[in-house]
């Protein structure tokens, strides 16, 4: 117990001495040992790497998990499963949950109804989109987020620990320098002081000449206290010089260790570069899957609209906000032009097409005809289209050379 108290008191004394040295340096009252310029550059680069890694990691997590509540809960869940050394179960994405709600609503409204069947179609594709999103989340977590988090929670903690130790070694070195300087100054003052004292002799007798001249003779003796003081100051200076050498060696050793760790930041950049490429590849795969699923959904909705339309009621259509924006052709003569015409449903756009006139159209997406009455299309090709009286407004008659057949309007950009 006594040893622990002494050790605690010693540690408190060292901490207080370092605090005094640090304060005096900030106030300009003490000299500070400057680090090597190369080491300073490495420290600046490491700090920049740490700060930007934190920002990129935090913003990527927000991108992949926009809801702050879900994001916080997900991080807590990851932490718990990591401490339990168990695999984190895959979570249902918001898009998958939307698809599930659509399927449940379709069962309640009736799968055989137009609305119910459309809900089933859209719900199934929403679940596919959600599955692609879940794959993106998993790939990003393993290939991008985890390496960045491991750097901040592993390598950077080690670097920070060694940097704090280096700062302590520097403070100890400067303390030893100040102590040696003070000891040398005290030794120099003692050396300049007189090393004797004047005392009366024990057998004191005044001579006649001395009495006549009016002064008395004195004996001179060396002061033993002055010599002892000089010896102590010399020993103190030697001790301070030895402590300075030890502190300098420890500082140099710690500086080399810290420098080696900081030079490893270059390898960290290379690792993060590979992780960034994996993240971009995962995003590209995700968006390609989404594009493919949405193309299939458009085809299904077009087929669904044709199958449920009846002669006695207006056709049920699912407007395509992306494709309808490409309908840039001028309206027929006499038709009123509105500033909101680009936002009208697709069926309203088709009512402005001439009944028997022909127009050129550019194909936006590949389309494979489902029967002999439909014309297969290739993206970016130009075809001739026209309408016939009584035809479904979601379809046109397309011609390519000697080939002729129905084509869906959502796959076309009408030209002048």
Strand partners, 360: 384
Residue 363, H or E segment: strand 358-363
Contact between 122 and 88 under an 8 Å Cβ cutoff? The reply is: no
Q: 282: pLDDT confidence band, cut at 50, 70 and 90?
A: very high
Give the pair of three-digit tokens for residue 217: 């003779």
> Residue 397 carries which DSSP code?
E
pLDDT of residue 401: 86
Nearest to 123 by CA among 103, 108, 107, 95: 103
Nearest to 125 by CA among 151, 98, 162: 98
Alpha carbons 381 and 343: distance in angstroms, whole number:
26
Q: 8: pLDDT confidence band, cut at 50, 70 and 90?
A: low
Q: What is the mean pLDDT of residues 394-398?
A: 89
Angle separating helix axes 37-64 and 156-192, nearest 10 degrees:
150
Alpha carbons 281 and 275: distance in angstroms, whole number:
10
Nearest to 262 by CA among 55, 36, 21: 36
Nearest to 304 by CA among 80, 112, 162: 112
Pairing of strands 196-199, 403-408: unpaired
Q: What SS3 state is found at 36?
A: coil
pTM (two decimals): 0.58
Q: What is the mean pLDDT of residues 375-379?
A: 90
pLDDT of residue 226: 67
Helices vs strands, H then E, count in the chain = 11, 7
Of 95-99, 122-126, 212-216, the one with minimum mean pLDDT is 212-216
Question: What are the pLDDT digits (tens) for 160-209?
Answer: 999 999 999 999 999 998 888 888 888 888 777 665 554 444 444 444 44
**Residue 398 phi, psi (nearest 5):** -110, 145
Of 2-16, 51-65, 190-204, 290-304, the one with minimum mean pLDDT is 190-204
Contact between 393 and 350 under an 8 Å Cβ cutoff? The reply is: yes
Question: What are the pLDDT digits (tens) for 98-147?
Answer: 999 999 999 999 888 888 889 999 999 999 999 999 899 989 989 999 99
């Amino acid at each position: 117990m006594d040893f622990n108290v002494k050790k605690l008191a010693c540690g408190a004394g060292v901490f207080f001495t370092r605090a005094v040295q640090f304060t005096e340096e900030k106030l300009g009252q003490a000299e500070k040992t400057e680090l090597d310029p190369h080491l300073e550059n490495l420290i600046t680069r490491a700090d920049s790497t740490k700060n930007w890694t934190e920002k990129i990691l935090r913003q990527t997590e927000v991108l992949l998990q926009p809801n702050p509540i879900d994001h916080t809960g997900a991080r807590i869940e990851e932490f718990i499963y990591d401490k339990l050394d168990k695999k984190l179960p895959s979570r249902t994405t918001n898009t998958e949950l939307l698809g599930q709600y659509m399927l449940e609503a379709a069962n309640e409204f009736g799968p055989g109804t137009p609305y119910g069947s459309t809900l089933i179609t859209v719900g199934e594709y929403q679940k596919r989109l959600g599955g692609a999103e879940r794959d993106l989340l998993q790939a990003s977590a393993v290939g991008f987020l985890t390496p960045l988090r491991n750097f901040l929670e592993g390598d950077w903690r080690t670097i920070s620990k060694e940097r704090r130790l280096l700062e302590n070694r520097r403070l100890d070195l400067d303390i030893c320098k100040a102590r040696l300087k003070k000891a040398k100054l005290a030794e120099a003052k003692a050396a300049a002081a007189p090393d004797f004292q004047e005392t009366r002799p024990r057998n004191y007798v005044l001579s006649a000449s001395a009495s006549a001249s009016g002064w008395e003779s004195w004996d001179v003796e060396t002061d033993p206290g002055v010599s002892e003081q000089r010896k102590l100051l010399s020993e103190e200076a030697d001790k301070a010089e030895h402590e300075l050498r030890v502190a300098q060696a420890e500082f140099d050793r710690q500086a080399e260790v810290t420098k080696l760790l900081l030079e490893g930041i270059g390898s960290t950049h290379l690792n993060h570069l590979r992780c960034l490429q994996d993240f971009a590849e995962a995003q590209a795969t995700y968006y390609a899957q989404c594009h493919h699923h949405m193309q299939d959904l458009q085809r299904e909705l077009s087929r669904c609209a044709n199958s449920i339309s009846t002669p006695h009621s207006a056709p049920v259509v699912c407007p395509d906000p992306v494709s309808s924006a490409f309908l840039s052709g001028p309206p027929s003569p006499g038709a009123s032009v509105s500033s909101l015409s680009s936002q009208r449903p697709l069926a309203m756009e088709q009512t402005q097409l001439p009944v028997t006139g022909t127009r050129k159209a550019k194909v936006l997406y590949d389309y494979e005809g489902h029967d002999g009455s439909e014309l297969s299309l290739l993206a970016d090709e130009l075809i001739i289209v026209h309408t016939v009286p009584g035809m479904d407004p979601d379809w046109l008659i397309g011609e390519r050379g000697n080939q002729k057949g129905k084509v869906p309007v959502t796959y076309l950009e009408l030209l002048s």
